[in-house]
Amino acid sequence: MTLLSTRGLSKSFDGLQAVTDVSFEVAKGDIHALIGPNGAGKTTLVGMICGRVAPSAGQVIFDGQDITDLPAHRRIMLGMAYTFQITSIFRGLDVAENVALAARRRHPAPRVAEAVAKALRQVGLAPYSDETAGNLSYGHQRLLEIAMGLVQQPRLLILDEPTQGLSEGEIAGFKTLVRDLKSETTLLLIEHNMSVVMETADRVSVLNAGAILAEGTPAEIRANAAVQAAYLGTSDA
């Protein structure tokens, strides 16, 4: 069953075509990875899906509903959660309050504290809940981002380059976390690190020069010659 789909989604900035006619589908319960070289239009595409960028043409359909004209905050309320590519937390507030801000939109007031504690335990930040968020290490800040997504109990969790800047050990931990999440939610993973994609994703869409180049299981993508030429062969992965 399809949770999210786009139809003919396009975006041009001042005549420059960033994304061209992208149609793809994310099935419910999948971990769906979106990969592509730098400048392929991943961020623009995701921006259109979650409402940060207005498309020039095309539609976004979430759970059977056309959400193309909905503002970002309304889409989030439908059950999307988005974590930023560049860590975007409330640096001046404490860790628990960061997560609580995310939780209050979803849970009735008496349940917020409980939900916050659970999300922090899930990502392993429970011991830091009173710490000022800006004082956390970079890796922990990335985890806090994910906790802010998790606590919303989203139907679709969009993770924008979650492992960027993490150490090897932290990436291994992240893979485990993602696999655990699979039972709870659908994930759209925009990822640069090929080992994360290959080991966790159910399906992979490859974006190149603003268009979908290939789609399939990780094994199919690995075997796809066009993808190798456009991406794998030239990337640092």
Residue ranges that bind other proteins, judged by CB under 8 A: 14, 50, 52, 71-74, 76-77, 82, 84, 88-93, 97, 100-102, 104-106, 109, 148, 152
Q: Which long-range contacts (CB under 8 A, 24 or more apart) does 163-170 make?
A: 163/191, 163/192, 163/193, 163/196, 164/85, 164/192, 165/138, 165/139, 166/138, 166/139, 166/142, 167/139, 170/139, 170/142
Could you tell me the strand order of the sheet in which 80-83 lies? 80-83, 156-160, 186-190, 31-35, 203-208, 211-216
The residue (of 100 and 214) whose beta carbon lies closer to other proteins is 100
Nearer to other proteins, 82 or 174 (CB): 82
Q: Tell me which residue has tokens 């993973």.
A: 189
Smallest distance, other proteins to C-beta of residue 91, A: 7
Q: From the CB of 216, what's the least distance to other proteins, in Å?
A: 30
Measured from the CB atom, is 23 or 88 closer to other proteins? 88
The least distance separating other proteins from the CB of residue 73, rounded to whole angstroms, comes to: 5
Q: Annotate 93-111 with DSSP letters as a single string.
A: SBHHHHHHHHHTTTS-GGG
Q: Which helix (H) or strand (E) holds 61?
A: strand 57-62
Identity of the residue, 102 or 119, whose beta carbon is nearer to other proteins in the bound complex: 102
Tell the smallest beta-carbon distance from residue 188 to other proteins (Å).
14
Taking the complex as a whole, the smallest distance from the CB of residue 185 to other proteins amounts, in Å, to 15
Q: How far from chain centre, in Å, is Cα 83?
A: 6
Q: CA 205, CA 216: separation in Å to the nearest integer?
A: 7
Tokens of 70: 């909905």
Minimum CB distance to other proteins smaller for 68 or for 208 = 68
For helices 138-150 and 95-103, angle between their N-to-C axes, nearest 10 degrees:
20
Q: How far is the CB of 158 from other proteins (least distance, A)?
A: 10
Q: What is the DSSP letter of 132?
A: B
- The smaller minimum CB distance to other proteins, of residues 62 and 231, is found at 62
